[in-house]
Amino acid sequence: MPWTERLKSGRIYLGVLIVLVWGLGPFYWMVVTALRDPAYTFDNSPWPSHLTMENFRNAFDTSRGNNFGRALINSVVIGSVTTAIALVIGVFAAYALARIVFRGKYLVAGLILSASMFPVVVLVTPLFQLFTNLGWIGQYQAMIIPNISFVLPMTVYILASFFAELPWELEEAARIDGATKMQAFRLVMLPLAAPAVFTTAILAFIAAVNEYLLARLLSSDKTEPVTVAIARFSGNDPLVEPYTAIMAAGTIVTIPLVIMVLLFQRRIISGLTAGGVKS
């Protein structure tokens, strides 16, 4: 192999290594701290030492006012409902943007994309006032509805790009065979879009579970998700932050998401790259 090719390959592997260390370094340190005895919380050894499972028991301990188990259920409920509603709306909106020609089509697409860039902090005060007037503070809908507005632009953007590259001849053939527009969409086009729908569902669920700012202000003790529950963890000493228990809770939340992404990485990659290359 010529030295120029070796140099090029070396740069690629170096870049991959930097990205891996940058992305997985904090996760590795979180797991190491979660497995470390609380007495050695600030031990700077990069390797697991003074191993214990006490931190994971402390994460689920309710005697200190923490209710991490209920927060996990709340996050699953909020994330699942948000993802389901966003997908139902997003699939039809993306299909319409990709298939139907109408005046202002690109303006609508631009507005949908710009909505995903809107700063969340600007919405905190008006949403808090609105949901206070409606009596929704501390209820699931106070977090689900804003989350839908946040993940919906991403949903429409990914699915519209995919639908635009699907062979429309298949839909036309179904129409010729007597299928209605809805039947052609449901029986022909939607199954072809399954990889993109699956990818979008995973990304939307992760985004909904990770939301913190609005959940911190709009939730109650009974409806708070894991992001809020972890942030207000308390230990034996009110003046000492229970870092190891917090890291254990973060590990419990993160590892299932990592496993899910690893198991379905082929579908995720195929969904994100489908339609990116024209034949």
Q: Looking at beta carbons, which pairs linking 91-95 to residues 24 or more positions away fall under 8 Å? A: 91/159, 91/190, 91/193, 91/197, 93/152, 93/156, 93/160, 94/155, 94/156, 94/157, 94/158, 94/159, 94/160, 94/162, 94/163, 95/159, 95/160, 95/163, 95/185, 95/189
Which class in CATH covers the domain with range 65-232? mainly alpha
Q: Where are the domains of the chain?
A: 65-232
Which residues of the chain register pLDDT less than 50?
Answer: 275-279
Residue among 90, 114, 65 at smallest CA distance from 242: 65
For the segment 41-90, what is each residue's pLDDT rounded down to a tens digit? 888 888 888 888 888 988 888 887 788 999 999 999 999 999 999 999 99
Do 160 and 97 touch, CB atoms closer than 8 A? yes
The pLDDT tens digits for 94-123 are 988 888 777 888 888 888 878 778 788 888
Asked if 124 and 213 count as a contact pair (C-beta separation under 8 A), the reply is yes
Cα–Cα distance measured from residue 31 to residue 252, given in angstroms and rounded to the nearest whole number = 9
The confidence score (pLDDT) of residue 277 equals 44
Task: Specify the pTM.
Answer: 0.84
Contact (CB, 8 A) for 76 and 243: no
